[in-house]
Amino acid sequence: MRKRLRSRVVGAILLALALIAGACGDDDGSGGDTNDGPTTTVGSKDGPTITVGSTNFGEQLILGEIYAQVLEANGYPTARMFNLGTRDIVNPALKSGDIDLLAEYTGTLLTFEGGTSTTDSDETNAALQAAIEDDGLVALAYAPAQDKNGIVVTADTAAELGLTKVSDLAAHNGTLVFGGPPECPDREFCLIGLQGVYGLDFARFVPLDVGGPLTVAALEGGEIDVALLFTSDGVIAAKGLVLLEDDMSLQPAENIVPVLHGDIIDAYGDELVDLLDSVSAAITTAELSALNKRYGIDAVDPDVLAREWLTEKGFLP
């Protein structure tokens, strides 16, 4: 496996800049999660410290805590490097070995590495594994949870029109108003795909924001009937919205997947891989949405959310 000393200097500089940025602001405007540098837990297992990283938004902090806490509970020496910034920061840090584990998104990371994601989760993850292999990285088994474009309606609309999947909307062509990001009409995974793949014809399109408060307010206020949000958005759980099944597989796979250094796997073997795979297997989109809701709306700290979830799933006593 690639030696982790390569690019250490560059990685250290990037992390130093990220730490400075983290100390000057917060991850999503809600405050309270600035990066104060690495925190380390000494484990009972003999081997290298596993540094868990995260980018700079709530879902990443929650996932980082989930993986870090289960490692700690099972005796692995663990450190945290959270809220480091965007993928432009964390990706070089992961490749250089300054962080060892990152909760990633299969399609997004594959695209970032120059590949092309597909709607098939297995195929996308296999392509991702091949794309990052030369950097000494390994994508483990992916979670059922996905954070990608989702088509959403209110519970009342779903009940009134009998909607459970995106294809159900075709029965109401020409009658429903669709709202989403301003660029949606020009995107293949938004309006173009909904028309071409599903044959949907909306009465009109309302340009709003990218899965944000304007879209939610318009949906709740009846200004639009159908909205584009992110599938793991906490507002779906908070507002009791209905996420329609992408039954014709328009959206590329975006499964949550832990990406690790191969040398960490070499050091700890299948026991580590099996542990992380079992945790990932328990993370669903609906549960991630609920966790995001408790973080973003109820203001529960990520470490508390992770500990409660791990306990509920039987990974912690």
255-304 pLDDT tens trace: 999 999 999 999 999 999 999 999 999 999 999 999 999 999 999 999 99
133 CB contacts (<8 Å, ≥6 apart)? none
Residues listed for the chain: 317
**Token pair 């590949």 is at which residue?**
115
Q: At what angle do helices 58-73 and 285-296 cross, to 10 degrees?
A: 110
* CA max distance for the chain: 64
Residue 176 has pLDDT above 80, yes or no: yes
pLDDT digits 0-9 by tens, 305-317: 999 999 999 999 9
Under the banding of pLDDT at 50, 70 and 90, the label for residue 40 is confident
Under the banding of pLDDT at 50, 70 and 90, the label for residue 212 is confident
Q: What is the pLDDT of residue 18?
A: 42
pLDDT digits 0-9 by tens, 218-238: 999 999 999 999 999 999 999
Please state, as a whole number, how many other Cβ atoms lie within 10 Å of the Cβ of residue 256: 23
151 CB contacts (<8 Å, ≥6 apart)? 166, 169, 194, 226, 227, 228, 243, 244, 246
Cβ–Cβ < 8 Å for 256, 146: yes
Cross-sheet strand order for the sheet of 256-261: 39-41, 78-81, 50-53, 101-105, 256-261, 137-139
Under the banding of pLDDT at 50, 70 and 90, the label for residue 13 is very low
Phi, psi of 231 (to 5 degrees): -60, -30
Q: What is the pLDDT of residue 42?
A: 77
Domains of the chain: 8-146+253-312 (3.40.190.10), 149-243 (3.40.190.120)
pTM: 0.83
- Report the amino acid identity of residue 225: D
Task: Pick the closest to residue 272 from 5, 70, 3 (CA basis).
Answer: 70
Residue 34 has pLDDT above 70, yes or no: no
Q: What is the pLDDT of residue 38?
A: 59
Q: What is the pLDDT of residue 43?
A: 75
- Report the amino acid identity of residue 139: A
d(CA 151, CA 10): 41
Q: Which of 36-40, 65-69, 90-94, 141-145 is predicted with the least confidence, judged by mean pLDDT?
A: 36-40
Q: What is the pLDDT of residue 41?
A: 78
Q: What is the pLDDT of residue 217?
A: 96
